[in-house]
């Protein structure tokens, strides 16, 4: 994947063809063996690191930032003084699981950099000039080709969004997880949409229903008439879409019930998006017994005076707190007794319910800070009230 990007991008290909020792790691460009002078007038070699802005997996775009990072000591002039005009920040910064930089430099042309060739060569010239004035034989052009890193990414293309924001290390807190989504009727589809954009290892989808026309109006995306006519299982329909981005989707063309609950035993987290309380209870009892954290979602929408009103609910169960579940989640299938199972579903409310659940999961995973640690949350539509309850000690 990295070599394809280099070969198809004129700026990266030019760097490689001219002998620069370039490497693509994650969504970053590394340029190794850049000669420089340190403060004791020794000639050393460092690495330039730049974010990559991509059009797609095979083609670079105009660099998003003129700032570049550096692995090594701060480069100096041949008298030992630092090259002050490029000084930006000096701190150890982890950009990726295996990219730790020491400094960042700033040298911005009036109109920014048109491409990565211009950006890299400009910084390389500035940094290496003192070293070359001391020893004319030093060079950054080694013509060394670095083999692709092991392609262990769960994505089919680089996550340049995280690299642009420099949150790769925070994002990595989600990696390795196996996520189960039980039910894809509405909210579950939006949960999948958000989870598929994270580096979790696997996403297991459980639903035995077909994807029908009414589902199109409360789920993410826009299916064609042909797709609807194919009468695909929901899990297969969503897998066909999101597997274009995420490699770890695992569809299960059946419902979770008391006979196959063990299929959830290997999950790191489970999102429960079902409308039958008897199924919900059996799943929750099993997850509590196995010590698997979960987030159960529900919404209840009613027509009152020609308006829609209702409540969205998100209830969390964890090994450390589950004593609230019987008070918060109905155990019977009497719809009249359960305000969260009415059949009216609206895409924006499904999406909001899903978003609240995924935000909470990210808090539980250490992605977002969580000061309240609530295990039950409701949103009342007509009064715009978000209420957090059942706070864990």
CATH of the domain at 351: 3.40.50.720
Please check whether residues 119 and 248 belong to one and the same domain: no
Angle (CA) 377 235 243, round 5°: 95
Contact 149, 2 (CB under 8 A): yes
Give Cβ neighbours of residue 305 (< 8 Å, ≥ 6 apart). Answer: none
Nearest Cα residue to 316 out of 350, 355, 364 = 364
Within a domain: residue 170? Answer: no
Within a domain: residue 168? Answer: no
Within a domain: residue 158? Answer: no
The tens place of each residue's pLDDT in the chain, 393 residues long, gives 577 788 889 999 999 999 999 999 888 999 999 999 999 999 999 999 999 999 988 899 999 999 999 999 999 999 999 999 999 999 999 998 789 999 999 999 999 999 999 999 999 999 999 999 999 999 999 998 777 655 678 998 888 888 878 888 899 999 999 999 999 989 999 999 999 999 999 999 999 999 999 999 999 999 999 999 999 999 999 999 999 999 999 999 999 998 999 999 999 999 999 988 889 999 999 999 999 999 999 998 999 999 999 999 999 999 999 999 999 987 765 544 444 445 788 999 999 999 999 999 999 999 999 999 999 999 999 999 999 999 887
Please check whether residues 148 and 185 belong to one and the same domain: no
Please check whether residues 247 and 104 belong to one and the same domain: no
Number of domains in the chain: 2
Within a domain: residue 222? Answer: yes
Q: Name the E strands within the chain.
A: 21-25, 28-37, 43-51, 54-56, 59-60, 67-71, 87-96, 99-106, 178-182, 202-206, 249-252, 269-272, 294-304, 307-317, 374-380, 385-391
Please check whether residues 146 and 233 belong to one and the same domain: no
Please check whether residues 97 and 235 belong to one and the same domain: no
Neighbours of 269 (CB within 10 A): 22
Helix (H, G, I), strand (E, B) or coil at 195: helix
Separation CA 223–CA 217 (nearest Å)? 10
Please check whether residues 201 and 290 belong to one and the same domain: yes
CA atoms within 13 A on the CB side of 31: 33
Within a domain: residue 166? Answer: no
Within a domain: residue 161? Answer: no
Helix (H, G, I), strand (E, B) or coil at 103: strand
Please check whether residues 181 and 107 belong to one and the same domain: no
Q: Residue 213: which domain range?
A: 175-391
Please check whether residues 221 and 299 belong to one and the same domain: yes
DSSP letter at 335?
G
Please check whether residues 119 and 228 belong to one and the same domain: no
Separation CA 307–CA 199 (nearest Å)? 40
Within a domain: residue 169? Answer: no
């Amino acid at each position: 994947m990295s070599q394809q990007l280099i070969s198809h991008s004129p700026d990266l290909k030019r760097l490689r063809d001219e002998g620069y020792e370039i490497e693509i790691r994650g969504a970053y460009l590394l340029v190794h063996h850049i000669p420089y002078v340190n403060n004791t007038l020794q000639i050393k070699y460092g690495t330039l690191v730049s974010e990559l802005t991509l059009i797609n997996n095979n083609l670079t775009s105009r660099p998003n930032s003129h700032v570049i990072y550096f692995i090594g000591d701060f480069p100096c002039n041949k008298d030992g003084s630092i090259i002050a005009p490029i000084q930006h920040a000096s701190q150890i910064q982890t950009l990726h699981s295996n990219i730790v930089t020491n400094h960042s430099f700033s040298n911005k042309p009036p109109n920014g950099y048109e491409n990565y060739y211009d950006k890299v060569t400009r910084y390389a010239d500035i940094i290496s000039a003192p070293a070359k004035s001391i020893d004319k034989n030093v060079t950054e052009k080694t013509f060394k080709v670095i083999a692709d890193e092991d392609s262990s990414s769960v994505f089919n293309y680089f996550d340049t969004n995280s690299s642009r924001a420099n949150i790769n290390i925070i994002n990595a807190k989600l990696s390795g997880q196996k996520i189960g989504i039980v039910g894809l009727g509405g909210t579950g589809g939006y949960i999948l949409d958000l989870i598929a954009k994270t580096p979790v290892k696997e996403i297991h989808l459980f639903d035995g229903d077909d994807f029908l026309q009414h589902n199109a109006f409360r789920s993410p995306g826009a299916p064609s008439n042909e797709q609807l006519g194919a009468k695909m299982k929901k899990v297969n329909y969503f897998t066909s879409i999101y597997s274009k981005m995420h490699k770890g989707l695992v569809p299960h063309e059946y419902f979770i019930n008391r006979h196959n609950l063990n299929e959830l035993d290997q999950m790191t987290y489970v999102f429960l998006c079902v409308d039958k309380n008897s199924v919900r209870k059996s799943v929750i009892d099993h997850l509590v017994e196995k010590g698997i954290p979960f987030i159960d979602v529900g919404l209840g929408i009613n027509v009152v005076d020609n308006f829609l009103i209702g409540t969205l609910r998100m209830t969390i169960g964890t090994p450390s707190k589950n004593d609230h579940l019987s008070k918060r989640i109905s155990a019977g299938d009497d719809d009249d007794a359960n305000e969260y199972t009415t059949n009216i579903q609206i895409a924006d409310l499904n999406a909001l319910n899903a978003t609240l659940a995924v935000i909470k999961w990210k808090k539980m995973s250490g992605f977002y800070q969580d000061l309240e640690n609530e295990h039950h949350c409701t949103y009342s539509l007509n009064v715009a009230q978000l209420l957090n309850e059942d706070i864990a000690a």
